[in-house]
Amino acid sequence: MSKLRRYTCKRYIYSDLKLIIKYFLKPLGFFLELVFAYGMLYLLISIFGGVISVGGDAVEDGMDVFVRTNGVHTDIVLPVETETYDWKNFIPTDDYPSNSTFRYIAIGWGDKGFFLDTPTWAELKFSTAFNAVFVNSPTAMHVEYLDHEPAISESCKLVQMEKGNYSELIEYITGTFKTKEGQVDIIPNRGYWNNDNFYEANGNYSMFRTCNRWTNVALKVAGIRTGLYSLFSNDIMRHLD
């Protein structure tokens, strides 16, 4: 090969490399930097937001409310009927034909796809988890009517609040439900058991707005001590001891 041909060949290779760097490697590097920055932000928020306490302490002789967890997800459990509010007027008991009594109601907010498609952890799909974490996905409310008072344990804490704060908590929770002509919008035949149901909800789920973040905001509204920005169940329960 002549020197001229070798020079021409090298020139084209060099030109191609410049194009690869310009149109592929530089955007890839920018993307990786963005992912790293996003990940560090999430890490800082998840660590410090869950540890730093905000809000007041529970009051004595106030309205009883429970917060429970299955280790990943948190629910708020309230008495069905008080002088402040009757949940039977908002969540129709006709949706729960197997229930004979309605003493407490457990309510949680979360990713709709995760709720409906993952009744057990063994049925968790990568696509479901990916959408829940990285996509602003639609949401649902999970409601369970209980015939007994929850037992206090490491996974179920009792808090008490003033009547005024309790009313604000009710307003926050009911405002998360989507309604049609003033009625909650049930997702039929999708409950896990015979005493629960799912309903359409307002808002979208993301890695910065998780089911536990919903509970976190609810506790702030109620004036209960909680994390500054809690994304995980442990960061909810640690402040209720």
The more confidently predicted of residues 128 and 205 is 205
Q: How many CA atoms lie within 13 A of 80 on its CB side?
A: 18
pLDDT at 51: 87
Counting the structural domains of the chain, the total is 2
Does one domain contain both 105 and 216? yes
Q: What is the DSSP letter of 152?
A: P
Does one domain contain both 27 and 78? no
Residue 23 sits in which domain range? 1-51
Least confident residue range of 37-51, 117-131, 224-238: 117-131
Does one domain contain both 146 and 229? yes
Residue with tokens 């410090």: 48
Rounded Cα distance, 85 and 170, in Å: 8
pLDDT at 133: 53
95 Cβ contact list (under 8 Å, min separation 6)? 186, 197
Residue with tokens 């930097």: 33
Point out the domain boundary residue: 29, 51, 73. 51
Cα Rg, the chain, nearest whole Å: 25
| Of the ranges 110-114, 124-128, 130-134, 184-188, the best mean pLDDT one | 184-188
Rounded Cα distance, 224 and 217, in Å: 10
Contact 226, 237 (CB under 8 A): no
Which token pair is 207? Answer: 């890695």
pLDDT at 174: 98
Q: Is the pLDDT of residue 7 over 50?
A: no
Q: Is the pLDDT of residue 3 over 50?
A: no
pLDDT at 8: 47
Does one domain contain both 27 and 85? no
pLDDT at 79: 97
pLDDT at 12: 46
